[in-house]
Amino acid sequence: MTPAVQRPDLNDLSKQQFDVIVIGGGINGAAIARETQLAGYKTLLVEREDFGAGTTSRATRLIHGGLRYLEHGEFALVYESLGERETLVREAPHLVQPLRMLVPVYKGDERPGWKVRAGLILYDLFSFRKSLPRHRAMPERAIAEYEPGLNRDGLTSAFLMSDAQVEFPERLVAEAVREFVDAGGIALNHASAVGIASPGHKLRGLLVHDELAGHGTPSPAAQPGTAVPHATDRATGEGARLPDTTVEIPTKVIVNAAGPWVDQVLAKTDAERHDRLLGGTKGSHLVAEWPGGPPHAIFASAKADGRPFFILPWYRYTLIGTTDLRYDGDPSDARCTPDELQYLLDEATRLFPATPLTREQVLYTYSGVRPLPYTPGGDDESTISRSHFVIDHAKRGGPDGLLSIVGGKLTTYRSLARIAIPAIKKHCAPTGEPSTPRTGSQAPPPVRSLPDDPLALYGQRRHEVEALIAEDAALGKRICEHNPEVLAQVAYAVEREHAVTLGDALLRRLPVGWSKCHTLDGAEPAAAVMRARLGWDEARRAREVAGYADEVERVCARPRN
């Protein structure tokens, strides 16, 4: 087995020259880093929190073409998305599964049956190479058999359509980062981009702060006797002493792929006094134990405002979402409001009135902010473009070599990464040779039941987890009694997937943090596994256990009155 991944030493990084540094370790940033490294660029990926901890983990967890984008004329985006959906279903079947959805249409809906049917026909035409079944109309008798609890009062028509689901998009990020590192890239989580050094508007480097310094494991940049490099003031070019947990890392190109935090990153630079780039909308979701809920996926229009929303079988629960509201606060602080909660409860109950969804059945809520282009207030949120593009700041009076990503969604992360390469080439030639990815995680289409086989998440790499159990039988024990995941998966998260906190492992490398119990009673044994591999002292171990409980409360928020 290949050697375990080690967290990069910040001082070592400050002595290297990178071609590209990507800021932001969500699905788009991870994919861009992977693509640039494979193209021969020496690349560093920097993430303030953990890979996949932001918008990626707060999505509706669908891989879809965007049926509703058709009514806003975004035909190219739908075509692109459907092509990417087909690729992911084919190449990542251990993570991305076909999903058949029922689309009911009621009298008075904003989109009448003929319009929905026309959209579905166009949707199928745009995905003419797909392997998924085409849509079909559902006669009334078939609806009663397929989804007997569905409200048929005022139901005018119903259709079955195909899309796909990725239960745990965090795993897509973990695999992209793994392939990036296997290709020679360097990945650094829990490290903030705190400034960009660009004296005379010539890009020189990125100032990076170690967020783990002082948490019980000494930061390489803060060890006694270690010289801390000098920075240059961004505006004047004069020397300035950096804090001992911050280094300047030289690079030729910086790709700001921080999602809804793009403008926050730019505020720390001497870039042009740019207009606001991002104007995100918040999407909130409910995770519920709903015994009387639908056994199949539902895609419907909300009665209250006509917005599309989903009711999805997900993990061991039901996922209901999403809202689409303008949001101007810090994306890190996005929460489901009482109004959003009631909105989703009401709409779900309207569709299944015999078994109403109650607040007591909601296990938790989660919210995320979409990194959409900024548009002035007043417009309908659904009309804001979902397309993605690259901003070259040199064309706007900013530093030569600074790029920002606007937009981007889960389905199109691969195609977004590809369009970033030509923009990078304008500023920098690769110093290495192109390579091909080592995609050891791919697997033939499996007969998959995640609750019974937690190692199915790893595809063909499952043997690496099994090897850990063969070496130490104790790692074959369950993390907690409520879930099937085993301690070897925690060890694997540390040794192969850059997990350095308990939340990294349990919320973003494994799905157990999203379970009903959040594996809170498994935090101690999981922390013991991580402590043995990361050299934590007792104080750090205790902080990790307490910190994990706090993170769960923040990410998987209980309903608020």
Domain CATH for 539: 1.10.8
CATH number at residue 286: 3.30.9.10
- Nearest CA to 131 out of 93, 158, 76 is that of 93
Let me know whether 135 and 196 are in one domain.
no
Do 147 and 24 share a structural domain?
no
306 inside domain? no
Beta strand residue intervals within 54-111, DSSP E: 62-63, 96-106
Residue (of 158, 254, 161) closest to 206 by Cα position: 254
pLDDT at 216: 52
In a domain, 551, yes or no: yes
Cβ proximity of 194 and 246 under 8 Å = yes
**96 lies in the same domain as 183:** no
- Whole-angstrom CA distances from 140 to 99, 105, 143, 148, 155 are 21, 12, 5, 11, 9
Do 403 and 361 belong together in one domain?
Answer: no
Same domain, 71 and 124: yes
* DSSP codes of every residue in 291-349: TTS-SSEEEEE-TTT--EEEEEEETTEEEEE---EE--S-GGG----HHHHHHHHHHHH
Residue 76 in any domain: the answer is yes
Looking at the fold, whether 463 and 490 belong to one and the same domain comes out as yes
pLDDT along the chain (561 residues), means of 10: 74 96 98 98 98 96 90 87 94 96 95 94 86 93 94 96 97 97 97 91 93 61 31 42 80 96 86 74 96 95 93 97 91 95 98 97 96 73 72 88 92 95 96 81 48 88 96 97 96 97 98 97 98 95 97 92 64
Q: Which residue has the tokens 């959040």?
A: 518
pLDDT at 5: 76
Residue 265 in any domain: the answer is yes
In a domain, 185, yes or no: yes
Contact 214, 410 (CB under 8 A): no
Give the end of a domain, one of 147, 166, 185.
Answer: 166
Q: Tell me which residue has tokens 């099994």.
A: 466
Q: Give yes or no: residues 402 and 465 share one domain.
A: no
Q: Are both 178 and 38 inside the same structural domain?
A: yes
Residues 267 and 287 both lie in one domain: no
Using an 8 Å Cβ cutoff, are 35 and 20 in contact?
no
How many structural domains does the chain have? Answer: 4
Half-sphere exposure at residue 52, Cβ-oriented, CA atoms within 13 angstroms = 29
Do 84 and 151 have their domain in common?
A: yes
499 assigned to some structural domain: yes
**539 and 474 share one domain:** yes
Main-chain phi, psi angles of 476, to 5 degrees: -80, -5
- What pLDDT sits at residue 385? 67
Query: Residue 257: which domain range?
Result: 10-51+171-222+230-278+386-410+418-425
Is 200 buried (19+), middle (13-18) or exposed (0-12) by CB count in 10 A? exposed
What are residue 410's phi and psi, to 5 degrees? -55, -45
329 found inside a domain: yes
Do 159 and 175 fall within a single domain? no
CATH code for the domain in which residue 17 is found: 3.50.50.60
* 471, 16 Cβ separation under 8 angstroms: no
Give the per-residue pLDDT at 279.
83
Specify if 375 maps to a domain.
no
Q: Which of 69, 58, 551, 60 is nearest to 260 (CA)?
A: 58
| DSSP label at residue 461 | G
